Structure 1
Amino acid sequence: MRRGFKRTKFRTYPSGWFFTGLMACFFLFCGLTHSFENQKPTPYTLRYPANFGGRYTIPEDNPITKEGVYLGRLLFYEKKLSAGNSISCESCHLQKLAFTDGKALSQGADGSLTTRSAMSLANLLWVRNFFWDGRSPNLEQQAAFPLTNVHEMGQPLTESVAKLRQTALYPPLFKAAFGSDIITRDYILKALAQFERTLISSDSRYDRYLAGTYPPTAQELRGMALFQNAPNPQKLIRGANCEHCHGGVKTFKELFHNNGLDSTFSDNGRQNFTNQVEDKGRFRVPTLRNIMLTAPYMHDGRFQRIEQVLDHYNEHILESATLSSFLRDVSNETNGKKLMLTKSEKTDIISFLSMLTDSAFITNPEFSNPHLTLKSQ
């Protein structure tokens, strides 16, 4: 009896502890699973120099998160968002070209050409009005235009939603980014906007010069001075007058100008959006960051080379009622009507513009096509 009691006691207690431990592990697992499912997205930390400033707006209903940025990056390179699964956002915005496409006009999913040149996507975080005519006030609204335009990606967002819902890849990623695996048009636009806000170009030789870590060449310094100065022949100050529109460390201002390309207009520019006569022929002042990579130039891509751009401002400004006042009667010669830069001065300016190329931006793996990595796994 005594031996049996011991045997029973010995066998009973270990099995009880085993059961208790098993239940504890079960509840712990359930708790961890529940915690994981309800885990909030991780805030994304934007990195940029202090001189870029914090004057930007991120919508309260679309904070930037690591999960949202990664999802947006996948969608940026996703051909399922286009008619016939033929093109993606990347088709018109190649990273190696500072997110332009090297074409005067881009080709859409239907084979037709766009009416305006693809703009660089660098430093969109600080832009307040998007497109050449400024018709969109934020990136969320901006993204809907190329996605649905019949001559661009050419697909209703309802169809894009349906395609993504049928994949194994996307529902969990939407849940991680937005708390729901039910994919919607708004979540698609929000994710794309999050990714595009991270496309910051801030590591050019010009940035390093401003940070005191790069000593410019004599030619670059001459070009910088010409770029920044307005001509004043009375004071013997020579300049190219560029900074009026492309001033500041980000080399753009929130302005729309008629820059003298035409005297009559086949494209009325911002007037198409505002219906204001004074906006006829006016277009957005784009950033000059990575300008040596983003040819051809102007809203219609009419100039293939940067030399042609300088020749235009130097010698070929055309008069019209809405011509920018910054371009009227500006000259390096007394009483001159043209800018009158010399050939060597143009070369100096190009040397400075080359300082704006950001090699890190065009090779940053955080901006590259993640589908290539997924395929290799």
Structure 2
Amino acid sequence: MKNTWLILFSLGLFGWASCSRSTDAPTPEPQPEQLEMPIPTYFPKMVYNLSSNPVTYDGFQLGRSLFYDGILSRNGTIACGTCHQQAVAFTHHGHDLSHGIDDKIGMRNAPPIQNMAWEKTFFWDGGVHDLDLFPIAPIENPVEMDEKLPNVLQKLRDSKNPDYPQLFKKAFGTTEITTERFTKALSQFMVFLVSNNSRYDLYLRGTTNALTATEKEGLAIFRQKCGTCHEGELFTDQSFRNNGLSIARSTDEGRFRITQNPEDRYKFKVPSLRNVGYTSPYMHDGRFATLEQVLDHYAQNVKQTPNLDPLLQQNNQLGISLTSEEKQKIIAFLRTLSDEQFVKDYRFADPGFGKAF
């Protein structure tokens, strides 16, 4: 058993194996070992351009170390993984609004990090359109990490952190630490966070008894009453909508902050519902603690606010017509989207910087 473990480890952690080379030919310069992206056939076309930043074993491991390292923040206390915790699908469980440096409170709930390679925009307001630029915003946000990117790069180059130059060399060929390499390493980690092994995925792949009769009924109701916005196998159309939340609680005007278009006031990105059983609380400001509260909102508490989505004001009625039984069946279905393998995958966990290599 011990020898088997050593063999597997030398091959690159369970399947991430190095390619063998002939001893008869001159040994070429070592090339980064590319990892095969887990791309479900039923997912839509990927948005992220992998050809410009292919995921390699060393690039992924560098990105993972950076993701979990507080060095990205001003005082070393806040890492990406602080507000995006694997056990809850990379969200900040229990916090309606994310807590950052010096325990400052942010203005929004931390969204999950999953299936990022298929995202067209990022953040609740879609303020970033490129995953490679995504990390800069939280790093420089004064209530999140409160640091400047040039300072982060300098800290990574510093002799106090001798491992990082060598990790960059493994990933990119030299010890040079640049903005592009830094952001691309983080992207390599994030694009590999693919969630596609829930019970619902087993059902899609042909295991008809992966869902109970009640869950299948919930799926049918969901598709009929929720599937326009939460469409497809990512369970989001990636649009920005006003879903009728009371604006008395918050001054956050959503997408309007980015576009300054009055028609975007109080609109927020439609979130994916994958792993929604793990990611409470819900909405951009975390105002709902349970899925029951979310469905109660849509069934009876939608407010007539500026730019309210037309789908929530039909036939002179606000919201979505849902009976108590329908709500329970929808929730039963939504819980089948929980991907236990994803939230427990050791490859995505904090490596304990300095120990994993």
Please list every run of 5 or more consecutive structure 2 residues that lacks an aligned counterpart in the other structure: 1-22
Separation in structure 2 between the aligned mates of residue 151 and residue 67 of structure 1, nearest angstrom: 31
1:259 alignment partner, one of 243, 246, 260:
243
Is the CA contact (8 Å cut-off) linking 1:263 and 1:319 kept in structure 2? no
* TM-score normalised according to structure 1 size: 0.83
Q: Please show how residues 225-236 of structure 1 align to structure 2 within 5 Å.
A: 225-229=220-224
What's the CA shift for 1:89? 0.5
Q: The residue matched to 1:370 in structure 2 has which SS? A: coil
Q: The residue matched to 1:51 in structure 2 has which SS? A: coil
Separation in structure 2 between the aligned mates of residue 187 and residue 340 of structure 1, nearest angstrom: 50
Question: 1:45 corresponds to which residue?
Answer: 36
Please list every run of 5 or more consecutive structure 1 residues that lacks an aligned counterpart in the other structure: 1-27, 230-240
Q: Please show how residues 203-242 of structure 1 align to structure 2 within 5 Å.
A: 203-215=197-209, 216-229=211-224, 241-242=225-226
AA matched with 1:100 = T
What's the CA shift for 1:376? 8.0
Identical-pair percentage: 40
2:195 alignment partner, one of 201, 204, 212:
201
2:69 alignment partner, one of 36, 56, 78:
78
Instruction: Encode CA deviations 1:290-327: one digit per residue, 9 max, x unaligned.
Output: 10110000000011111110000000111123111111
Q: Please show how residues 84-163 of structure 1 align to structure 2 within 5 Å.
A: 84-102=75-93, 103-163=95-155
What's the CA shift for 1:140? 1.1
Separation in structure 1 between the aligned mates of residue 31 and residue 140 of structure 2, nearest angstrom: 31
Q: Does 1:312 align with 2:288?
A: no
Separation in structure 2 between the aligned mates of residue 85 and residue 55 of structure 1, nearest angstrom: 34
Over 3 Å counting, the alpha-carbon distance change for 1:336 and 1:284 in structure 2 is closer
Is the CA contact (8 Å cut-off) linking 1:110 and 1:154 kept in structure 2? no
Q: Does 1:322 align with 2:278?
A: no
Separation in structure 1 between the aligned mates of residue 355 and residue 173 of structure 2, nearest angstrom: 26
What's the CA shift for 1:111? 2.1
The worse-fitting range, judged by mean Cα deviation, of 358-367 and 103-112 is 103-112
What's the CA shift for 1:53? 3.3
Is the CA contact (8 Å cut-off) linking 1:252 and 1:285 kept in structure 2? yes
1:246 alignment partner, one of 212, 215, 230:
230
AA matched with 1:107 = H
What's the CA shift for 1:214? 4.4
Question: 2:163 corresponds to which residue?
Answer: 169
Question: 2:257 corresponds to which residue?
Answer: 272
AA matched with 2:273 = L
Question: 1:6 corresponds to which residue?
Answer: none
What's the CA shift for 1:337? 4.6
Q: Please show how residues 183-194 of structure 1 align to structure 2 within 5 Å.
A: 183-194=177-188
More helix by share: 1
* TM-score normalised according to structure 2 size: 0.87
Separation in structure 1 between the aligned mates of residue 84 and residue 57 of structure 2, nearest angstrom: 22
Is the CA contact (8 Å cut-off) linking 1:257 and 1:283 kept in structure 2? yes
Over 3 Å counting, the alpha-carbon distance change for 1:72 and 1:376 in structure 2 is closer
What's the CA shift for 1:263? 5.2
What's the CA shift for 1:107? 1.2
Is the CA contact (8 Å cut-off) linking 2:90 and 2:113 kept in structure 1? yes
Task: Provide the aligned length of Structure 1 versus Structure 2.
Answer: 328
AA matched with 2:333 = F
2:45 alignment partner, one of 44, 47, 54:
54
Separation in structure 2 between the aligned mates of residue 247 and residue 93 of structure 1, nearest angstrom: 24
Separation in structure 2 between the aligned mates of residue 89 and residue 294 of structure 1, nearest angstrom: 16
Is the CA contact (8 Å cut-off) linking 1:205 and 1:214 kept in structure 2? no
2:331 alignment partner, one of 350, 355, 374:
350
